[in-house]
Structure 1
Amino acid sequence: MRHSVTLWDPLIRVFHWSIAGIFVANYWLNEKGDDWHQWLGYTAAALIVLRVVWGFIGPRPARWSDFFPTPSRLKAHLAALLKGRDQHRMGHSALGALVMILMMLCFVGLATTGYMMEEIDRFWGVDWLEELHGLIANTLLTLVVLHLLAALFESVRLKENLPWSMVTGKRRERGQQERE
């Protein structure tokens, strides 16, 4: 029998949906470099700092130590996927954690290059920096698409609505959980 357990605390959920909204707004809705684009970029940078800190002081599912994608965790997760085995974790899978960290690093790269282009005079109008900013944004878009597809795939495979758990904070607990 399965029952719901609290998994994602409010800070994690607000972070997730805020950073997702900022990405959508800055990638598709805001004019590149306008005030809204910049302020949302600064907000994303502040959210990333908050999330990094929360990874050390927050509840267990939010902590880096709980899900950091070590080589052994990645190897075990990949082996389970290739063998079609269910490797149920209440938090991020090793591959999910890797993609999450890569997305966060992309936000750091966007904040850094955006700040350089707008606030440091010697970099204003520098083509390579604008191209790098665009490349990072497109890389982030690719990672977001992978994240969405993986969430849908795992939801079908596990017969559980994983995106909904990021809304409610709850997830159905299943039998034996993978702890490593």
Structure 2
Amino acid sequence: MQSIKVWDPLVRIFHWALVAGFAANALFTDDESKLHEWVGYAVVGLIAVRILWGLIGTRHARFKDFPPSLSASMEQVGDMATGRVTRHVGHTPLGALMIYNLLGSMLLIGLTGWMMTTNAFWGVGWVEEAHEVMVAWAEVSVVAHIAAVVYESWRTKVNLPRAMVTGRKNMPATDESPA
């Protein structure tokens, strides 16, 4: 096994802060409260920092390291169906799609949430509905993300949750090169 440094501190802090912010607003804060608004603004701020870091950050944090790819995602699905194991130092193709999904969902939640605070959109039904639909979609996506992380950790024998805490993946020496 080789220990490969993958996730820098900014990526890990972003990830867990986003988890805390989304969970706080989805589960604990009153939807009508100022705290709910401010946590929402903090989440949007986190997303902005992550987008910037996706352009200028470390290798595996950059978006160019995990471009959205339907063909690569289908190849990963094929691997899963046939029992082939391909380990990735950075994000997997399906993981990349989930990241883009979650970033976009969180931004749309933030946008519709902000819109509800403006004079132009306060009380407008479709804005509140869009906000609620996006929150529900994000909740489903988070559950799918957690299930996929658990499944892929088991299937590939790479502890993905530990890597998001420590920043390092323990991988067999024969897998994808860290270079």
Q: Which residue of 2 aligns with 1:41?
A: 40
**Residue identity opposite 1:58 in structure 2:** G
SS of equivalent residue, structure 2 residue 108: helix
Q: Quick one: distance in 2 between partners of 1:50 and 1:80?
A: 33
* Gapped regions of structure 1 (runs ≥ 5): none
> 1:126 Cα shift?
1.5
SS of equivalent residue, structure 1 residue 122: coil
Q: Which residue of 2 aligns with 1:82?
A: 81
Q: Which residue of 2 aligns with 1:145?
A: 143
Q: Which residue of 1 aligns with 2:165?
A: 167
> 1:131 Cα shift?
1.1
* Gapped regions of structure 2 (runs ≥ 5): none
Q: Quick one: distance in 2 between partners of 1:144 and 1:41?
A: 17
SS of equivalent residue, structure 2 residue 120: helix
Specify which of 117, 123, 139 is matched with residue 121 of structure 2: 123
Kept after mapping to 2: 8 A contact 1:87/1:178: no
Q: Please state if 1:66 is matched with 2:65.
A: yes
> 1:178 Cα shift?
7.9
Q: Quick one: distance in 2 between partners of 1:149 and 1:164?
A: 15
Q: Quick one: distance in 1 between partners of 2:127 and 2:56?
A: 35
**Residue identity opposite 1:39 in structure 2:** W
> 1:9 Cα shift?
0.1
> 1:13 Cα shift?
0.2
Specify which of 136, 139, 144 is matched with residue 134 of structure 2: 136
> 1:79 Cα shift?
2.2
- Report matched runs for 1:103-118 at 5 Å: 103-118=102-117
SS of equivalent residue, structure 1 residue 141: helix
> 1:159 Cα shift?
2.1
> 1:154 Cα shift?
1.0
Q: Which residue of 2 aligns with 1:19?
A: 18
Q: Quick one: distance in 2 between partners of 1:65 and 1:72?
A: 16
- Runs (4+) of structure 1 moved beyond 6 Å? none
Q: Quick one: distance in 2 between partners of 1:71 and 1:167?
A: 28
What is the root-mean-square deviation of aligned Cα atoms in Å?
A: 1.4
SS of equivalent residue, structure 2 residue 169: strand
Count, aligned residues = 177
TM-score, normalization: structure 2?
0.94
